[in-house]
Chains A and B, each alone.
Chain A
Amino acid sequence: MNAAYLYSLITVVLLGLIAYAGAEAAGLEVLFGVIIPYLALIVFLIGFANKILDWTKSPVPFRIPTTLGQQKSLPWIKQNKFDSPYTTGQVVIRMALEILLFRSLFKNLRTGFGKDGQKITYKWVVWLWLFALMFHYSFLVVVIRHLRFFAEPVPFFVTMIERVDGMLQIMLPNLFISGVVLLAGASLLLLRRVLLPKLVYISRPADYFPLFLIIGIAVTGLMMRYISKVDVIRVKELTMGLATFQPSIPEGSISGLFYVHLFFVSLLVAYIPFSKLMHMGGVFLSPTRNLANNSRAKRHVNPWNYPVKTHTYEEYEDDFRDKMKEAGLPVEKE
């Protein structure tokens, strides 16, 4: 079997232990609470910007949208505006549907093989779409909720989101649905990757690592909230210090769990620019999705277009003049 996920799991567990021991036993709070988070942020910002700049430095020489529906042609033929967009507005809608609703994933099919009937079947499957949606949206909500730690006063939308998120009052403090859904989403995506043979086959440590990291973040987060509670006041003191660039480690200790959590987050943030997680930026730039299908109507310019050697008509006629004349084909030069 594929040991790739074991490596990733062990790595993440080890990293967690390092942070725990470091902050709790070795007293390296400043390292794990201040230096690493700042470093991670710097790496992220520079790395992310770099990557985007690098992408945009390469031009889009040709207009290559994948057309997933009827083109705009004759006025009485109904154009599929969002799958074969003709205007920028339509492209924006296409992209929004893709980015907000993961529309392509929604179309997923599973190919089946009926050996006896010699039939191939295609079944609509929504799991990947559903798990991905769960995962990404809950992650977004969690991130927004965390803004409470970095702003004073807490912005209204954060409070609002919190209120909606915490509507399910089955525990005290309020259970935030997002945290649980995040853990579930990430775990389901991980399960897919370790259980479906095809996925196992194409997966590399680089695919498991961020999933374990995120699961680690979710688990430590949930633990701090519901099991081994941390002192939120102190945490906020630390995070506000970071946010206002006056970092300090608060008096008295915050649990080691918190440092593990923060370390995982720092790692994830720093890891983004160098990994497939850059899909969060790349999805906006994919030329098969973000271009209008109107290249027969509007000219598109390729910045590196250069003249090429062709076989000109004159050369062609020189090659075949006699035969052309004999066949009664018109020629330019007698």
Chain B
Amino acid sequence: MAETPKPEELFQNIDHSLPDEPWEEIPPDLSEGRFCYPTKKKNLEYLDLPTTTQDEWSPADEEWPIPDNWKEIIHEGFKERLEKYRSLKIFMDVCVRCGACADKCHFFIGTGDPKNMPVLRAELLRSVYRNDFTTAGKILKKINGGRPLTKQVLKEWFSYFYQCTECRRCSVYCPYGIDTAEVTMMGRELLSLLGLNINWVLEPVANCFRTGNHLGIQPHAFKDMVDFFCDDIEEITGVRINPSFNRKGAEILFIVPSGDVFADPGTYTFMGYLLLFEQLGLDYTLSTYASEGGNFGLFTSSEVMKRLNAKMYAEARRLGVKWILGGECGHMWRVINQYMDTMNGPADFGEVPKSPITGTVFENAASTRMVHITEFTADLLRNNKLKLDPSRNDKHVVTYHDSCNPSRAMGLLDEPRYVLNSVCNHFYEMPENTIREQTFCCGSGSGLNTEEIMELRLLGGLPRANAVKHVHDTFGVNMLSCICAIDRAALPPLMDYWVPGVGVTGIHELVGNALVMEGEIERTMDLRFEPLNEETEEDADE
């Protein structure tokens, strides 16, 4: 990304002045760097999804490879979705264009592009809805804000529905709770009917479908990677761990976002999970078949989401576990909290989750039988089941990024904070309008974590980074913690760019560092093989 301008420059160039032409007349910017690459046909074919009429194509092309009856397909698809989702109908009908949501979207704040205002993003779809599906729209046409579906509109959809991370921040401020993420999801489903998908979503989806995880890691390789971690853990702590895989009769099935298995710094978080379970003597197993928590189907269509998610319950049933524990993952938890039981349930296996260590029954997960790991760990801490040495995290001045999905589609806010406050000594919150339910997206969620749109991502992540910069400058924060694997992948480049000197970590990496294990050697390194306490070392030298 040699051509990415310097941060100051990029910041100065953000222009919030509005164009003279009405937005309907402005074509979408489909120049290189402004769009995600379309998916390879083979991924669509593998999943039996509609494909484009031509294998190789670029959104920058004048003509898109879509069937001649594309209008009909979209129209039918739209109609079907209006009949299936009350949310869509209501959101199409009741927006009063009050503008309360307009400056709440990180992509609008970062790019200044008016079509990134949630109200206009939804209007892209709404204008067609009005024109085609309402009486007033049919009569009044443009006066009512309606417009016919054209190829330009289709391109606009592709551009702007893939410039929305489905983070729902806009819906917090809307007087009717209009959730533009929901509109975006519908828009993407419609595009998908023509095979217009992006590769960074569809390739992981195809991989997940086949192997169970995003990168398409095959079972033996998955096991190998975990074995590597165990070697590292032994070197750091002196404790040897041998986690089990696909083991029938285990009490708990543990499912992580696979990003924690294959990409730093998520891997350290994965090591943290392993340390914790070992210390507890937890009767759990990992699965190579259901080796992915994150669900990119959410960014494609509800059907694809359901197809991927089915593995978790199927595997729990096959292995005969009592319940499922889930790792630190953003979209996984949105899907589990809002869709899982409804689309994949009933969870006809096991029983209501109960911590074997504390005896706590997780009533709030009675039906899905799935507990979030920060709920589980917070309960352990509250019941004094862990011996900790938080000073092992002393070199970190920590702040916490509320990942969008667990925050705004689950309400998981205090559990991670409780854990953090137990395992580290220096914790500072970012400003209140940028955390908890008002949290800002990393700018790369919903499948946008792809290299070719790096500049867009940096702009989208700017509000998040800016709040981190604030605590970095004020309190010397140097570590940004989070509970989402996409965050762990997306935030490091964001920090390197806007707030150099701030690292990124999962919560359970810090837990792993602080955890005092039975039979461990004196620790000198953290889970990253870095000296535990740089400062004290320096102090000792003086």
Contact = CB atoms under 8 A, between A and B. Distances in A.
Nearest to B102: A198
Given A74-B382, A108-B173, A128-B98, A118 B11 contact: yes
Contacts of B93: 51, 55, 276, 278, 282
A246 interface: no
A70 B114 contact: no
Interface string B114-133: 10010110010000000000
B159 interface: no
B179 A308 contact: no
A80 interface: yes
B341 interface: yes
B470 interface: yes
A204 interface: yes
B408 interface: yes
B367 A61 contact: no
Contact of A70 (B48, B145, B314, B413): B413
A206 B23 CA distance: 16
B414 A60 contact: no
Interface string A216-250: 00000000000000000000000000000000000
A295 B16 contact: no
Nearest to A331: B246
A76 B415 CA distance: 10
Contacts of B346: 299
B385 interface: no
Contacts of A207: 96-97
Interface stretch (A14-22, A141-149, A310-318): A310-318
B248 A289 contact: no
A309 B48 contact: yes
Interface string B12-31: 10101110001100000000
A224 B160 CA distance: 50
Interface string A157-201: 000000000000000000000000000000000000000111111
Given A299-B345, A308-B310, A327-B223, A111 B85 contact: no
Interface stretch (B230-238, B431-439, B519-527): B431-439
B315 A74 contact: no
B364 A55 contact: no
B178 interface: yes
A282 B90 contact: yes
B86 A327 contact: no
Nearest to B114: A201
Interface in A8-66: 51, 54-66
Given A104-B174, A296-B337, A302 B342 contact: yes
Contacts of A275: 136
Contacts of A66: 168, 171-172, 177, 179, 408-409
B394 interface: no
B299 interface: no
A67 B437 contact: yes
Interface in A104-159: 104-105, 107-111, 113, 115, 118-120, 122, 128, 132
B356 interface: no
B338 interface: yes
B219 interface: yes
A306 to B, nearest CB: 8
Given A283-B94, A288-B171, A324 B219 contact: yes
Contacts of A320: 211, 218-220
Contacts of A100: none
Nearest to A47: B135
Contacts of B224: 327
Contact of B177 (A102, A289, A330): A289
B111 interface: no
B175 A104 contact: yes
Contacts of B341: 295-296, 299-300
Interface in B419-448: 431, 433-434, 436-437
Contacts of A67: 407-411, 437
A286 B176 contact: yes
Interface in A68-98: 68-74, 76-78, 80, 83-84, 86, 98
Contacts of A80: 411
B245 interface: yes
B130 to A, nearest CB: 9
B378 A74 contact: yes
A67 B334 CA distance: 11
B10 to A, nearest CB: 10
A334 to B, nearest CB: 15
A202 B177 contact: no
B336 interface: yes
B343 A202 contact: no
A298 interface: yes
Given A67-B437, A202-B97, A298-B367, A107 B90 contact: no
Given A54-B89, A74-B378, A297 B367 contact: yes
A7, A68, A83: residue with the most chain B Cβ atoms closer than 10 Å? A68
Contacts of B102: 198, 202
Nearest to A78: B414
Contacts of A255: none
B89 to A, nearest CB: 5
B104 interface: yes
Contact of B179 (A64, A199, A297): A64
B109 A120 contact: yes
Contact of A198 (B103, B179, B370, B409): B103
A329 B94 contact: no
B75 interface: no
Nearest to B99: A199
Given A98-B175, A104-B175, A206-B144, A64 B338 contact: yes
B182 interface: yes
B176 A279 contact: yes
Given A206-B145, A207-B97, A296-B367, A287 B247 contact: no
A111 B463 CA distance: 10
B87 A60 contact: yes
Taking each of A57, A296, A301, which has the highest tally of chain B beta carbons within 10 Å of its own beta carbon? A296
A196 B84 CA distance: 37
Given A66-B177, A278-B93, A295-B341, A71 B410 contact: yes
Nearest to A281: B94
A201 B82 CA distance: 27
Contacts of B223: 327-329
B466 interface: yes
Contacts of B434: 122
B96 A74 contact: no
Given A55-B89, A202-B102, A285-B86, A68 B360 contact: no
A293 interface: yes
Contacts of B83: 57-58
Nearest to B372: A73
A180 to B, nearest CB: 23
A293 B410 CA distance: 7
B94 A279 contact: yes
A316 B212 contact: yes
Given A74-B378, A204-B144, 10 more contacts: A66-B168, A109-B104, A128-B98, A207-B97, A294-B364, A295-B337, A295-B341, A309-B48, A320-B219, A326-B220
4 tightest CB-CB pairs across the interface, nearest first? Answer: A71-B411, A282-B94, A67-B411, A327-B220
15 contacts: A7-B143, A61-B85, A64-B87, A69-B413, A105-B100, A110-B103, A196-B99, A201-B23, A205-B145, A206-B145, A278-B93, A279-B95, A308-B310, A310-B311, A329-B220
